[in-house]
Amino acid sequence: MRRLSAFNVVSLALGLAFLYLPIVILVIFSFNASRLVTVWGGWSLAWYRELLQDQAILDAAWTSLRVAALSASAATVLGTCAAVALVRMGRFRGRLLFAGMVYAPLVMPEVITGLSLLLLFVALNVDRGFWTVALAHTTLTMCFVTVIVQSRLIGFDRSLEEAAMDLGAPPLRTFLTITLPLILPAIAAGWMLAFSLSLDDLVIASFTTGPGATTLPIRIYSQVRLGVKPEINAICTIMIAVVGVATVLSSLFAKRSAIRRERGALAAQV
Amino acid sequence: MKRASSTRLVVAIPYLWLLALFLVPFAIVVKISLSQTVIASPPYRPLLDLAAGWEGLRSYVAHLSTDAYALLASDPLYLTSYLKSLHVAAVSTVILLLIGYPIAYGMARSPRRLQPVLVMLVVLPFWTSFLIRVYAWINILQRDGLLNEVLLALHIIDAPRAWLASDTAIYIGVVYSYLPFMVLPLYAALEKINQSLLEAAADLGCPRWKAFWRVTVPLSRTGIAAGALLCFIPIVGEFVIPDLLGGSKSLMIGQTLWTEFFSNRDWPVASAIAVVLLIVLVVPILVYERLQRRAIEGTD
């Protein structure tokens, strides 16, 4: 029997308050009519209107969205392959190095990853810009996708796959018709994480970008260095709203598909 | 067992990708850390001229230099920077453990139905931009910010204090940003603990605090190690938080690398800083990988 003690409740409440209070304050002040960030001048959408006229921010946001969509999609394909390789291929040659290269970027300081990728692009004499940032983000985020898909692959029952193989389905077909639908929620979650990590990254993008490919975090960072501005609060609020809605929707989706799966399993037993 | 070529591609494509874009770049960093700065494009010499064949390679090796490392060793700026980073990372990790453990413990003891919601609540801030979360603290910590106003209103302080541009601000920013990374592995370990062990301890007359210390904490060891490393390693190389919240008196090593690269355009020194940082972090990274392999694959 689990019982929450008063200590448990208080530490949970304080912990969540600590996590959310700064974000809530930021959101509230984005609707502040006053230019002074700390003086409350009544509710207003002035900073959102101003944002719509800031072409530089809009361009940067568009660049970021394109980089994030492209790199998240590439990272999802690569990361899923890597997860399948790690879970299903047994002990192939060089597996230890492979696993090492998958897990290391999760903790590697970004300045090191950013610098090394930039030096690679310079050595290859590639023009830096949109594509180099997308390549860099793909490399970083594929490792996160791998970890998410990997834990899903380990967690599920292999008997369905084995049944398909026994009935003569070739490996690729088994993967596409049996495995892929089962791990789809993890793949979707991996894509979303990759997308938001790419949208978020400042350091690696700063190293690997070139003229004409300013991403949103780079733009925000250069503004923030000049001081707090209400427009920044507004753009941050929009980003928080987008991520919040997407996360809640995806968790509802995952729950629905889990319920449907359980019902299917029940029906099969009856 | 012979594998079809399509199966082999599943390994080969991500493998080659990571070799080309993760491992090879490190070799290039090492190579450039052994060169000298020049005002040119690219801003370092010697350049490896493969077209010149054997002669080119020999002249390249003859011109390699360890000047960048000599500078790192002779100018105390760099040593101070490394030490400050390690210090900030170590202290923050301890603070994160002290704050994160009670939160994770509370989550693990919550009713089963509530746990997924709590996990999502902890993960959600991690999905919102890192930069935004650091920026949110500038709003609060600046001179006419909310913290000063609240403290003034409560008569805890008489005059506004400068919270920004200090080490305190760095610690607040780091602890805030990395808290989910600490809580989640701790929760994963605590949630697995069999409650009957604690009941057994209670039945045998063990007080609750002692059962916590002798049963719960040792059983959550892997979570503690994973959370600590998942925070410590990236914090050592952190750039955004100290740059936006910290002062300019002493820099963390991520900032020093950034300055060498972007302001001084000294690529060899920036590369040498990265190489030394990697050497400092290689043991924690390998330990982390071992834990990760064990946690995910259940093997060693």
Query: Is A75's Cβ below 8 Å from some Cβ in B?
Result: no
B74–chain A nearest CA distance, Å: 22
Closest CA to A210 of A117, A146, A144, A140: A117
Query: Hey, are the CB atoms on B142 and A86 less than 8 Å from each other?
Result: no
| Residue written as token pair 């696993």 | A99
**Statement: residue B40 has pLDDT above 90:** no
CATH code of residue B243: 1.10.3720.10
Query: Is B11's Cβ below 8 Å from some Cβ in A?
Result: yes
Q: Which residue has the higher pLDDT, B89 or A45?
A: B89
Q: Is A99 exposed, middle or buried (0-12, 13-18, 19+ CB in 10 A)?
A: buried
DSSP chain B: ----HHHHHHHHHHHHHHIIIIIHHHHHHHHHHTSEE-SSSSSEE----GGGHHHHHHHHHHT---HHHHHHHH-HHHHHHHHHHHHHHHHHHHHHHHHHHHHHHHHHHS-GGGHHHHHHHHHHHHHS-HHHHHHHHHHHHSTTSHHHHHHHHTTS-SS----SSSHHHHHHHHHHHHHHHHHHHHHHHHHTS-HHHHHHHHHTT--HHHHIIIIIHHHTHHHHHHHHHHHHHHHHT--HHHHHHS-SSS--HHHHHHIIIIIS--HHHHHHHHHHHHHHHHHHHHHHHHHHHHHHHS--
Per-residue pLDDT, B43: 80
Per-residue pLDDT, A59: 93
Please indicate, yes or no, if residue B150 is contained in any of the structural domains.
yes
> Which of A38, A40, A119 is the best mutation test for B, with the most CBs of B within 10 A?
A119
Query: Is A30's Cβ below 8 Å from some Cβ in B?
Result: no
Query: Is B213's Cβ below 8 Å from some Cβ in A?
Result: no
- Please report the residues numbered 260 through 289 in chain B whose beta carbons come closer than 8 angstroms to any beta carbon of chain A: 261-262, 267, 270-271, 274, 277-278, 281, 285, 288-289
Share of chain B above pLDDT 90, in %: 49
Q: Which tokens hold the place of A142?
A: 């594929």
Per-residue pLDDT, B4: 62
pTM, whole model, 2 decimals?
0.89
Please indicate, yes or no, if residue A168 is contained in any of the structural domains.
yes
Strand partners, B37: B44
Per-residue pLDDT, A264: 66
Per-residue pLDDT, B198: 83
**Statement: residue B3 has pLDDT above 60:** no
Please indicate, yes or no, if residue B148 is contained in any of the structural domains.
yes
Q: How many helices and strands, by DSSP H and E, does chain A display?
A: 12, 0
Greatest extent of chain B over all pairs of C-alpha atoms, in Å = 80
Rounded to whole angstroms, the Cα distance separating B173 from B178 reads 9
Per-residue pLDDT, B1: 44
Query: Is B171's Cβ below 8 Å from some Cβ in A?
Result: no
Per-residue pLDDT, A215: 94
Rounded to whole angstroms, the Cα distance separating A229 from A101 reads 40
Query: Hey, are the CB atoms on A247 and B124 less than 8 Å from each other?
Result: yes
B114–chain A nearest CA distance, Å: 12
CB A12 within 8 A of CB B107: yes
Q: Which amino acid is at A169?
A: A
Please indicate, yes or no, if residue A6 is contained in any of the structural domains.
no
Q: Report the residue from A108, A117, A200 with minimal CB separation from B130.
A: A200
Closest CA to B172 of B95, B103, B247, B243: B95
Please indicate, yes or no, if residue A198 is contained in any of the structural domains.
yes
Please indicate, yes or no, if residue A105 is contained in any of the structural domains.
yes
Please indicate, yes or no, if residue B3 is contained in any of the structural domains.
no
What total of structural domains would you count in chain B? 1
Q: Report the residue from B25, B236, B238 with minimal CB separation from A117.
A: B25
Per-residue pLDDT, B175: 96
A25–chain B nearest CA distance, Å: 8
Angle at the Cα of A81 from the Cα atoms of A256 and A260, rounded to 5 degrees = 15
Please indicate, yes or no, if residue B30 is contained in any of the structural domains.
no
Per-residue pLDDT, B300: 42
> Which of A47, A111, A221 is the best mutation test for B, with the most CBs of B within 10 A?
A111
What total of structural domains would you count in chain A? 1
Average pLDDT, chain B: 88
Please indicate, yes or no, if residue A145 is contained in any of the structural domains.
yes
- CA dihedral in degrees (B261, A70, A200, A98; nearest 10)? -70
CB A130 within 8 A of CB A223: no
Q: Which residue has the higher pLDDT, B162 or B263?
A: B263
Rounded to whole angstroms, the Cα distance separating B233 from B86 reads 9
Q: Report the residue from A38, A150, A225 with minimal CB separation from B146.
A: A38
Query: Is B160's Cβ below 8 Å from some Cβ in A?
Result: no
CATH code of residue A127: 1.10.3720.10
> Which of A76, A112, A131, A201 is the best mutation test for B, with the most CBs of B within 10 A?
A112
**Statement: residue B279 has pLDDT above 80:** yes
Per-residue pLDDT, B129: 79
Please indicate, yes or no, if residue B78 is contained in any of the structural domains.
yes
Query: Hey, are the CB atoms on B127 and A247 less than 8 Å from each other?
Result: yes
Please indicate, yes or no, if residue B6 is contained in any of the structural domains.
no
Please indicate, yes or no, if residue A175 is contained in any of the structural domains.
yes
Rounded to whole angstroms, the Cα distance separating A202 from B239 reads 10
Please indicate, yes or no, if residue B49 is contained in any of the structural domains.
no
Decide: helix, strand or coil at residue A101.
Answer: helix
Per-residue pLDDT, A266: 62
Please indicate, yes or no, if residue A5 is contained in any of the structural domains.
no
Which residue range is the domain that position B160 belongs to? 67-297
- Please report the residues numbered 208 through 267 in chain A whose beta carbons come closer than 8 angstroms to any beta carbon of chain B: 217, 220-221, 224-225, 228, 232-233, 236, 239-240, 243-244, 247, 251
Rounded to whole angstroms, the Cα distance separating B107 from B97 reads 15
Please indicate, yes or no, if residue B228 is contained in any of the structural domains.
yes
Rounded to whole angstroms, the Cα distance separating B260 from B273 reads 9
Q: Which tokens hold the place of B18?
A: 């990571």
Which residue range is the domain that position A142 belongs to? 54-269
Low-confidence stretches of chain A (pLDDT beneath 70): 1-3, 37-38, 228, 253-270
Q: Please give the C-alpha separations between residue A238 and each of A51, A234, B128, B274, in angstroms, as whole numbers.
A: 11, 6, 11, 35
Q: Which residue has the higher pLDDT, B181 or A44?
A: B181
**Dihedral sign computed on CA atoms, order B5, B10, B12, B16:** positive
Please indicate, yes or no, if residue A25 is contained in any of the structural domains.
no
A15: chain B residues, CB-CB within 8 Å: 99, 102-103, 106, 122, 179, 183
Per-residue pLDDT, B44: 82
Query: Is A16's Cβ below 8 Å from some Cβ in B?
Result: yes
